[in-house]
Amino acid sequence: MRRGKPADRPRRADAPEAGAPPDVGGGRSVASVVIPRSLAIVLGLAAATVAAIGMSGISGILAPVLLALILTICANPVRTWLERNGVNRGVATLAVALTTFALLAAFVYALVIAFAQFSSLLPDYADQIAAIGANISSWLSSIGFGPDQVAAIEQGLDPNNLVAFFSGLLGSVFGLIGMLVVLLTMLILMPADASYAPTVLRQLEPRRPHLVSAVREYAHDVRRYMVVTTVLGLVQGVINGVALVIMGVPAAFLWALLSFLCSFIPNVGYFIAIVPPLVFGYFEGGWPIVIAIIVVYGLVNAVVQSIVQPKVVGNAVALSQTLTFFSVLFWAIILGPIGAILAVPLTLLVRMLLVDSDPGTRWWRTALGELTETKSIMKAEDAAAHEARAERRASGRGRRS
């Protein structure tokens, strides 16, 4: 039988043709597809919009789950410390869960008492609130607002409506049984699963080193940010509360609690916290009390938020001021008040998943607010510019002489 020519031999099914792209898994060739940048941006924005709408639709479940995640990350070092000192893993996990439950119970109790105090306080200042509503209505009418709009605003400032609003808000706290069940259940399950997290990360590290590094960095940064913010928020709330008590502002405990909560909301939290005590301080003591509250709140906020917190937190957040402010608005719309409080940790979570875990996209950190190298470059450029100006002045004096 005559042997066929080499060109006539059958080609193996798995042999790639000349110039074909390399095989990717299973011997099948996958042609590389280059998506235009404009199309990629549009698709990315569309996907982000769909994801945001979806998260908003399940916010009743998603918000407590994310809150439980952040609390578990913050409390995990307690379990690690107990295990390092010989405590059984299950007992350590149970201790962390019980501690978290106790803190949540104390906070919910304080919140309920504060809202009840505020609801009982409003009727005592009904006349002053009504007078303010009338003044605002007159001013709005003078600048061209229609009668229907003015009437709606004046009705919203009616003390009876305010009492009903806060009473309904207090009742809704008790009605959020589903959210509390989800939160408490996740606070039982997440600490139990977190006991396996160190081993899982070590297991994944040889295959996904960048992802594991990003997860560890995220947990460290969020824990540092939340613990420092909580401690400084407590200090800020106590100082503000004591100052309000000394000045005789009613419901000082409520405003101190509000100051603590708003310390977790960057940029706008200070303004949210100061408005109610200003109003009731004006009712109680007039403009001198208002000025005193502005001075106390301004000094405390400047020292805690602008001096102490940046030095203690360091570069753990590394988000630009614009992005931080937008994140507060975005997460507040998506998840409600919990989203506003957790805006920074949730934004860091998104950054970890999309940027930090991929070496090809880590350059985005600079655009998002990682400015350590940028500040060094600017400092060197400023020094060079100052030296150049000095040389020009020296050369100018030499020519004149």
Could you report the per-residue pLDDT of 381-392, keeping only the tens digit for each? 888 888 888 888
Give the model's pLDDT for residue 29: 45
Q: Which of 18-32, 84-98, 121-135, 301-315 has the highest mean pLDDT?
A: 84-98
Measured CA to CA, the distance from residue 287 to residue 320 in angstroms comes to 36
pLDDT, one tens digit per residue, over 357-385 is 888 888 888 888 888 888 888 988 888 88
Q: What is the mean pLDDT of the chain?
A: 80
Residue 60, pLDDT above cutoff 70: yes
Least confident of 54-63, 118-127, 246-255, 322-331: 118-127
Q: Is the pTM of this model over 0.95?
A: no
The domain locations on the chain are 60-195, 208-360
Residue from 261, 229, 259 nearest 244 by CA: 259
12-21, 74-83, 373-382: least confident range: 12-21
Residue 334: pLDDT above 70? yes
pLDDT digits (tens, 9 = 90+) for 142-199: 777 767 666 666 666 665 555 555 555 544 544 456 677 888 888 888 888 888 888 8
Please give the pLDDT value at position 20: 44
pLDDT at residue 14 tops 70:
no
pLDDT at residue number 359:
87
- How many CA atoms are closer than 13 Å to the CA of 349, on its beta-carbon side? 14
CB 270 within 8 A of CB 294: no
Of 160, 122, 118, 119, nearest in space to 251 by CA: 118
What are the b/e assignments for 41-58, b being 16+ CB within 10 Å? eeeeeeeeeeeeeebeee
Three-state SS at 157: coil
The model's confidence at residue 66, banded by pLDDT at 50, 70 and 90, is: very high
Q: Are 111 and 173 in contact (CB under 8 A)?
A: yes
Q: Could you tell me which residues come within 8 angstroms of residue 284 by beta carbon, excluding any fewer than 6 positions away?
A: 248, 249, 250
Mean pLDDT to the nearest integer, 65-94: 86
Retrieve residue 352's tokens: 């970890």
